[in-house]
Structures are given as C-alpha cells and as structure tokens.
Structure 1
C-alpha cells in the first residue's frame, strides 16, 4: 500500500543519529603520492612491457654468457664467419640461419668444424662467439648508461640545488661555469681525453663526468627556484628550520619526480653516445666489445654477413625504446595534472 501525502505524519520521520566522531571519518583508504604514481604506472601497459624488457635484458646479459664455453676473445680462424646455429633446429634452412647459408651449403662441414659446436648468434671474422660478445657488450653499454645516470643524479642535482638555493652571487658564478662547459661539444672533450689517454671506457667515463650532468643541473635549478618561494617553504623557514631541513624535507622531495624522469631519459642518450663513439672508432677498443663496436664491426660486412650487425642492433634498439617508454610512463605517472 502506497503512502499518500495525507498519510504523512511527523511520527514517520526520525532524525539521523550521527555523532561528531564520524563527521571527519575518511570513507576511502588514503594513499600517498608515490602509491598513486605507482598505481598509475601499472596501468600503463607500454611502460610495464618496457620495464619487463629492461629487466630481462639486464639479467640475461649476465646469465647468457654462462651458456657458452667460449670467452669474449676466444679466437679460432677455423670457425670464422659462421652463421647462427641453434641446437635442435639444424635442419631449418632459411636465409643462413642454423648453419646453412643462402646457397644451401653447410659451412660447418666445409670448414671442418665439429657438428656438436653451436653458436646461437654465429661467429665473427676471427671465429669468436657472437653470443658471448653481444651480451658482454650489452654489459659495457649498460654500465656506461647507468654511470651517466648516476653522475646526473649525484653531480647535477647537487650543483643545481646549491646554485638555486643560495642564489645571488653564488648562482651567478656557478651558472657562468655551466655556460662555459655547455659550450664545449662532447666530441671535443672525448677527443681531448683520447689524446691524453687511450680510447676506451676511461675516456668515455671522464667525458661524461665533465659534461654529462649539465642538463640535470639546469632542471633541478629551475625546480628549486620555483619551490623556494612557495608558502610552505617560507613557513618552515619562518619557524626556524635550518637549511639542511629545508632541502631534505621540502625542496628535494618535491623535485624528485623531475629528477627520476630526467635520469630515465639520460640512459638511452648515453647508450647512443657510446655507440656513436664506438662506431667512429673513438669508443670501446678491441678485444673489449660494446653494442656500438659490434655494430661497427658488423657494418663493414653487412651485405655478406648481416647477422654480425643484426643482433647487437636489435638489442640496442629494444633498450633505447624501452627506456624511452618507461620514461614517458614515469612522466605521466608523476605528473599531478594527470591524476584522475
């Protein structure tokens, strides 16, 4: 039976019982900024796939060389320039894969190489196992890349933060030094170290230490200049907070998002920088291998033995694309304007 308007009486109504202790109760679970950023990063499929690819390549670069009994510089001219051969797939004849070249001739038999020897990525002109050299070269390229990111975080953040926080004459002097270093091309710096030292990891490391942190310092300086005049920083300073507390509790945490994103984009740039130097002969020198030096060696015989350049180029492309994707994902996840 429906209640009509005439049947509505005050007895039918009762005031809601709600105490003051429930007025400020939070109905939804409270999450921090970093928890929310991690949640949004997990929703980005491209970034998660890229993260998985990076972790896989880093782990595999240390595990994969253990699958071969050869070292990075084990030379044997008897097995030079062999195409890839994978155990269990020897019968597949397709474009020089698995020990059979495009003419249908088995080079393993022609060169009197035992049939029980398998080279998953083939061998180079000196008979060295490309499988080992590619993954050892990946280790060298990743070392230089993460070294550049570490220098960015340590030197660039410290330099840019001090310059912006103290300001005035200190900021002017420090920025004039940055402008001088920024005007020197990286290639000139690396050539200078090659003249003093030999080409190799040490020369590239010193060149990165001198000029690699400038971009990060400018980003941190801009962030600190914007934040140090905000109300929460001025309030903490008025209450007597020392400079160390202002930096560690207020300025640095609020610039951490920009630092992480910038460091992530630094890694593919460092990989390309090292590969470029190795490609033109100013980087990693033999017998040590890197992705750039392997691509350079394979490029010389690209039309005859394309597999020598194919595999290191594929690993480098996957690394660079993955780091750029994870950088884009972190930028979107750490941007408060992207919150829904």
Structure 2
C-alpha cells in the first residue's frame, strides 16, 4: 500500500464566522427568538392584507368592540340595530325574524315611507342592501328582507371603531421599519466615524471625540422637538432624528476596537507596503470590528423602538391615520379601564419583539466572543 493511500485526507478548517454560526445554532433561546422575530415580521408584512379590514376604516357600529372569535353582529344585537336604523327612517319595525345571514322585518309609519331612506341600511356596518318583499297600506307598511354583514374582530376595535388586529400589524411595520432604518443610519455614521477617529489618532482623534462629547450633552427630546418644528412630523424624520443621535455610542465602540486592531501585525504590514488609508480602513479595520458592532445592533434596534414608542406616546411621533406600537399603547393606556384589549395586544407584540431581540443579542455575543470557545 502506497504512502499516498495511507495519508489521511486534509481537515477542512472553519472561519470565525462559520464557527460563530455553529455556536449560534446551538443556542436554543437565540434561535427561538430568531424564529419569533421572523414570524412577527412576516405577520406585519402580509397580515394586513389577510384580515379583511383596512387599517383606517372606522366601523361606527362597532366602537370599542371586545376581542372575540365570534362574528359580529350577534343574533341578540340585530333587533337593536334594526331599531336604530328604523328610527332614522322614521318608521317602526315589527315582526323582526333573524334567519342566518338575513333578517326579515316589517316597517310601518303614519305616512308613506320614502323608499330612498332605505339606504340607511346600506350605510350601516351591520346590513347590506334591503329587498322589498311587499308593500301595503299605500306605502305606509313595507315588508323587507335585509342581508346581514358578518365581520370578525379578533383583537377587537379601538375608540374609533377600527380593527385593532390590522392596526397592530400596520403599527408593527412602522415600529420595525423605524428601528431598522434608524439603526442603519447609526451603523453607517458610527462605524465610519469611529474607525476614522481611532485609526488616525492624535489631534484628529481628540477633536472628533470632543465633537461626540458635545453632541452627548444635547438633550435628545429638545433635538427632536426642534426637528419637528422645522421639518414637521413625518415618518422619515423619526428615523433620521433617532439615528442621528444613536450613532454616538456606536462611534465610541468602533473607536475602541480600532485602537486595538491598528496595532496588529497585518495592519502594520499593510502600512509598510504603502496601502492607502482608505483601503486599510475598509479591508482591515472595519471588517474586524463587526463582531461587537453586530451585537450592539441587535441591542440598538429594541432601544430605537422604545424611543419611537416614547416619542409617539408624547405626541411627537407617527400621526393619524398611520400608527405605531407606541401610538396604540398610548391610546390603550387612556382606555385601560373600559377597553383593556386596546392596551394588551399592542403591548404584547412590543414586549415579545423586545425580548426576542435581546435574547438574540445575547446569543450573538456568546457566539462571537473569541474568549468563550
């Protein structure tokens, strides 16, 4: 048997990122959190098209309707609804009989009933277009068959009669988008700024970090109020304002990592070979700072979502008819005594997302820590 046949096959090595991915997959809490975040994002993305309700449509007959799997209106509520519509027609209903998806009734009045007023059934959220079965007493008595429009509100409705499930999912889009976009702004500014300050060093580093210290001293709420006064309230402003502040912590983290990395042999070798400063930053410095940066990003997203919720709670965030989890929680807090579901469901989505992001951040921290292998 030849020496070549006896030689063992080469062992394939693994990079730091492959090793980190393997360690992350073994972390059950982090993987479960990743699945939960994916499901929440998918629900917020496609869910509003599946609920059957528009997020800004107000059902005047279903204001503050409790959450339920039962379709509305119930058979017990139909006679009262017929009474309300008949009062607008100035007629008296009788012989009300509910039969599945239709209701039969008789309208009577001292004067001939104007059939054009039957449109009030159409305008109701509970009924469709009525059908006249018979006319008696010169039009003073009408026999009608009215279809019943069945609706479901799994999360109930808010104080304006809007479906809370649809609004919670739409709010998730806004809150998650603000969290990701603001974090993206903070990531780009903070990484570039911190890497440049740490690598250049000396007086440039001192000047750049003093600018960071000055920005730290500015009150965040005051800064946001100024932006609102000058540019108005809009969605883009929210993530620009939050991202323009949150990059300060990112810059400090990246600067600290850069101060350590720039003394490594491969960076010194690149400098000796005459590699331009820009290439050293983009090829050697920034890629090797991404471990702590990724961990901080997973912790920054929930922080940004909480900041947006806080600003919306104060009335400085997203405006009607658009909404966010902060806006819904603010509305639910004001109606907690009589409509607790208005607070419970948006708060549950927000808390679940924040917990999942924090567990994922802890898992990434453990997976990317070279000292914990």
Q: Secondary structure at the match of 1:284?
A: coil
Q: Contact 1:149–1:264 (CA<8 Å) still a contact in 2?
A: no
Bigger drift between 175-184 and 268-277 goes to 175-184
Q: Residue in 2 aligned with 1:84?
A: 67
Cα shift at 1:145: 0.1
Query: CA 1:109–1:207 in structure 2 vs 1: closer, same or farther (change >3 Å)?
Result: farther
Consecutive unaligned residues of structure 2, counting only runs of 5 or more, are 83-125, 127-147
Superposed CA offset, 1:145-197 (max 9, x none):
00121012211101111111112222122112111111112111111122223
Instruction: Choose the corresponding residue for 2:46, options 63, 81, 88.
Output: 63
Cα deviation, residue 26, structure 1: 7.0
Using the size of structure 2 for normalisation, the TM-score is 0.77
Residues 253-306 of structure 1 deviation map (CA, whole Å, 9 limit, x = unaligned): 211101111111110000000011111222111111100000111111101111
What does 1:158-237 align with in structure 2 at a 5 Å threshold? 158-237=192-271
Query: Counterpart in 2 of 1:38?
Result: 21
Structure with more of its chain in strand, by fraction:
2
Give, in whole Å, the separation in 1 of the partners of 2:257 and 2:308: 29
Change (3 A) 1:203 1:175: same
Where 2:161 maps in the other structure, the secondary structure is coil
Aligned partner of 1:120 in structure 2 is: 154
1:245 matched to 2:279: yes
The alpha-carbon deviation at position 235 of structure 1 amounts to: 2.3
> In structure 2, how many angstroms separate the alpha carbons of the residues matched to 1:63 and 1:216?
33
Moved more, 42-51 or 209-218: 209-218
Cα 1:258–1:109 change in 2 (3 A) is farther
Other-structure match for 2:337: 303
Contact 1:77/1:125 (8 A) holds in 2: no
- 8 Å CA contact retained: 1:82, 1:99: no
Taking structure 1 as reference, are residues 107 and 140 closer, same or farther at Cα in structure 2, changes over 3 Å only?
farther
Q: CA RMSD in A?
A: 2.4
Hey, what does 2:316 align to over in structure 1? 282
Aligned mates of 2:329, 2:172 — CA distance in 1: 12
Equivalent position to 2:366, from 317, 332, 335: 332
| Alignment CA distance shift 1:99-1:49 (3 Å) | farther
Instruction: Provide the C-alpha distance between the structure 2 equivalents of 1:78 and 1:149, rounded to a whole number of angstroms.
Output: 41
CA radius of gyration, larger in: 2
Where does structure 1 lack aligned partners over 5 or more consecutive residues? Answer: 1-16, 91-97
Asked whether the equivalents of residues 183 and 243 of structure 2 are also in contact (C-alpha less than 8 Å), the reply is no
- Distance in structure 2 (CA, Å) of the matches to 1:106 and 1:228: 75
The residue number in structure 2 matching 1:13 is: none
Determine the C-alpha separation between the residues in 1 that align with 2:195 and 2:327.
37
Match of 1:267 in 2: 301
Matched, 1:53 2:36: yes
Q: Partners of 1:199 and 1:336 in 2: how far apart?
A: 44
- Name which of structure 1's ranges 193-202 and 106-115 shifts more when overlaid on structure 2: 106-115
* 1:65-92: CA deviation from partner (whole Å, max 9, x where unpaired): 1113321211132111111232xx56xx
State whether residues 295 and 365 of structure 2, in contact with CA within 8 Å, keep that contact through their aligned partners in structure 1: yes
Give the Cα separation in 1 of the matches to 2:183 and 2:249.
11
The size of the alignment, in residue pairs, is 308
**Inter-CA distance 106–128: structure 2 relative to 1 (3 Å threshold):** farther
Secondary structure of the equivalent of 2:67? coil
| Alignment partner, residue 133 of structure 2 | none
Q: Is the 8 A contact 1:83 1:99 kept in 2?
A: no
* CA distance in structure 2 between the partners assigned to 1:285 and 1:192 by the alignment: 17
